[in-house]
Structure 1
């Protein structure tokens, strides 16, 4: 394709939710073959395999579908619904790594090349501050399919303070799910690939995440008539004439490729080897 002439009209602009996850749907086997269950389409990775004790199988040291009944106090950890995503600090029980933790909850890979003003919002419960508290809850982003990760927020160092917040039933020092945590991801506007991870490192308190929304403004092609100009060339060793040229242009979206343009043109001119025609 040599050139595409767009209509003169304005582009179509709309706000869309690229991710909207409340963790209510049953978690399924992980596609990468490890032992974890995952929200459909998501990924869970880590080093932990156990829970706090044989009598507390719901207090997992890795990301799992969490409900208040799993906790002795029955705190209302989910922001809405019955479930949230959550994990517990490791006391070392049943863990080959002792009390070490390196646990990842990862969104599906998104294609946001036509998106701007990206923003992540979620509700969360975690230990926010206090004597001896070390960073352990991170939000990270990847633009290379999860090969490398940027830290976009450390929930301890980048303290999210909400005036009037109570700390919930856990009390002072805790971030409760009263207010959403909002993180500006506009640095990743237009990325051909984007993944977001909730990364829990070390063993300090618990972490609950619910109602995750990643949204952005989508710039779509203007409505109207498009003119596509293409060049064909005879790479063979014989003259060619009266042949068909098929052209298909795909638009890449996060739900798969869709046909944006398709046409068939008959070339009647005689083209000698090495000739090209528009």
Structure 2
């Protein structure tokens, strides 16, 4: 799971508090972005896809992108803070990020830190400044990090994963062996499935076939090494299992639009020389 968290990209869109009365209804509606509702008062009926929830104070509701929702007030008054944002895990294609991280729709919001972050974000949103967007982005990242940490700690050790266990097994195998460039036969043996079945599983759960996923994953690992270390490009290629640094450079440029050296110059550490 740490690999998924490290590759999570988040973009803040907007935040707004709502004071709603008993006539409040939404939907049916399909969401285009991720939406987080932090409920501070009242109750409401919420349907996300086919699952029903009762929204209530002290709870957080994480509504995934592309999900169909509908809801209506149960009490005379409903108060909530709504945060809209985009999020994705870079190498999972069209896979919904919250599903990949096993985040449920309903989460415990009884945490002073979470309330404090949201209040600070609301204050920032109401006080235009040159750095407003950066501050809101930082607030959103802290908010999601707090939710992830709390949820991961609360997960039972035998929690059933949302992603197919065989796909997770292969991804974990790859992430723990960055210097390897295993062949499909080796991955299939590790996952105990045929090559055709493993291909179907990867397309279903990551949005891309195994080889494309593998290359995408190597690219993300290379980005981190380029930004965080001063290792030579050829050494990074060898550490990632590439026998030919030129092939590594061509693959990296094909995936990112930059050569490894260009990427390092644009995003890497520059204070050391």
Please give the range of the TM-score, normalised by the shorter of the 2 chains.
Answer: under 0.3
**Which is helix-richer, 1 or 2?**
2
Q: TM-score when scaled to structure 1? A: 0.26
| Structure of higher CA gyration radius | 1
Higher strand share goes to which structure?
1
- Greater RCO structure (CA 8 Å; 6+ sep): 1
